[in-house]
Every structure is written in C-alpha cells, then in structure tokens.
Structure 1
Amino acid sequence: MEKNKVLRMDNVGIVVESLDNAISFFEEIGLKLEGRATIEGNWAGRVTGLGSQNVEIAMMVTPDGHSRIELSRFLTPPTISDHRTAPVNSLGYLRVMFAVTDIDELVSRLTKRGAQLVGEIVQYENSYRLCYIRGDEGILIGFAEQLGNK
C-alpha cells in the first residue's frame, strides 16, 4: 500500500479588512485575480471550526499559474485577532516570498503607493538580493531577486 503524500501546495490564505485594496496591492506585484466569491453556511464553518460563516474571498494567481493567495474578508463571524503588525520573529505566519526580476523598481513602485520597507534591500553572497516590505494592511511580503543566471 502506497503511503499518502502531498501532491502540491494550492494556496496561502490571508485575512484582510478590504478585499478591494488587497486585490489591488497583489495586482501591483504582478498577481492576477483568478476569481471572487462569497462562501457561506454551516458546511464552510465545519471546515474552519467557526460554525455558520459568511466570507468574501478572492483568489490571486502568480504569472506562472502555479501559486495562489486566497484573500478572505470575514463578514460573520467578525475577526477577533490582528497579527498584521507583529515583528518578523513572531510565532505563526511570517511572510509570503516572491521571486522578482527587478527588486529596486518593484520596491520603489510599492513604496509610492504606501508600502514600507521593513529593513533594507540586502545582498546574500553572489546569489540573491532580498527584502521584506509591509504592504496594504501591514501584510508582510518578501522579495528575492536572483543574481547572475536570470
């Protein structure tokens, strides 16, 4: 009997206050809106353990079509905790990392629309340039630009 195994990672979920603002932010990075829907009822609450719920979701997909971010806005029950401004050494979700082609241009464009560079853009050996930013709603995002063989 073959052992059960993971086939792939489908998505990362992020809860937001404004779905429209979060969609716009991730579109600015280069993701595309794949779909938007409302999820409600007891069946969904049985998955999350929240009971009856009403949630607006938007699925964002990377240009290569392999990775997705599911943005969720809870209408009911209301959100009860906020981890958006936690420092990078906090327990739990840290960040989503994206491979990019021009880290300086992207960071410049995002800071003009209100994103904040967490530390600075640094170079790791001769391999990568890396940084963290806080985008809309304080969402922590990492960028990595591969050096050399692009």
Structure 2
Amino acid sequence: MADTPAVTRSLMSAPLPQIIEQLGLSIARAQSAMDINSVAIAKSMAETKVMIGDEEHTLLSLGFAPSFYAFTEATVEAKLSFSMSETTETSVDVSVSGGGGVGFVMFAASVDVGYARKFSVGSEGQSSIAARIVSLPPPDQLTAVLRRHNEKN
C-alpha cells in the first residue's frame, strides 16, 4: 500500500489549533453578549416602575437584580479512527486428463490461475463541544452603586 503514508499524514493533520482558537473566540463573544444582556436587563429594571400603595418604586429599588452568567469550562472532543487493509488472494486450479487407444496416448492439462489484490481504507470521525455556564451574583461594584442610589432616593 504505497499510499498509506500519504493517507495517514492527511488524517493526522486535523486543524486542532484553529479549532481551539475558534472555541476561545466563540466563548469570549458569548460571554460579552451575556454581560451586555445583563446590563440591558439592569437598565430595564431601573426604568420599570411599580406602584405599591401610593409610592412608586423601581424594580432595582425593590431589590431585584439582573442575573449574570459566566462560562466555567469548555471542552472540545474530537475522535478520529481509521483503518487500512490490503489483501492478496491467489488461486491455482490444475487438472490433467489422459486417454488413448491402440498405438497412441493423449494427455491434456488445464491450468487456471487467479490473482486478486484488494485495498481498503475506512475512516470515521465524531466531535462534540460542551460548555458549562453558571449564574453569578451581580458584581460587587454594581451592588454598591445600587445601594447608594437607593439610599439617596
């Protein structure tokens, strides 16, 4: 199998560094989007007014706070399996027959030769990406600003 080294090289040259880089960039973009969303929710809570009796309150002044989320781990798993095989089959079938009569003898020989060479390459791959996200309390600075704001009002 003269092509075996070439096939092996191509299978082993998977772009793992690029996969890891893209995973990192994707997590950073997702984290930024989650942070922006939490800030937008905080703004919405500051603007949402609730009447309790004859007093008007914002959701923030009532103690509501947006949820913040963070990625705690991310896993990339890639599995690749491949198999190569070569088989050679040779078969020989020989038959001899003879006969004769008065004053002569005849012989006949028949030879049947078969040769087969088979190559087989198979590959299988699978991958998965998993990320774990947890809820965090609001940042301490945001909590302090909200307390100061509520004390003034």
Instruction: Indicate the TM-score class for this superposition, using the shorter chain for normalisation.
Output: under 0.3
Higher helix share: 2
* TM-score scaled by length of structure 2: 0.18
Q: Which has the larger radius of gyration?
A: 2
Higher strand share: 2
* TM-score scaled by length of structure 1: 0.19
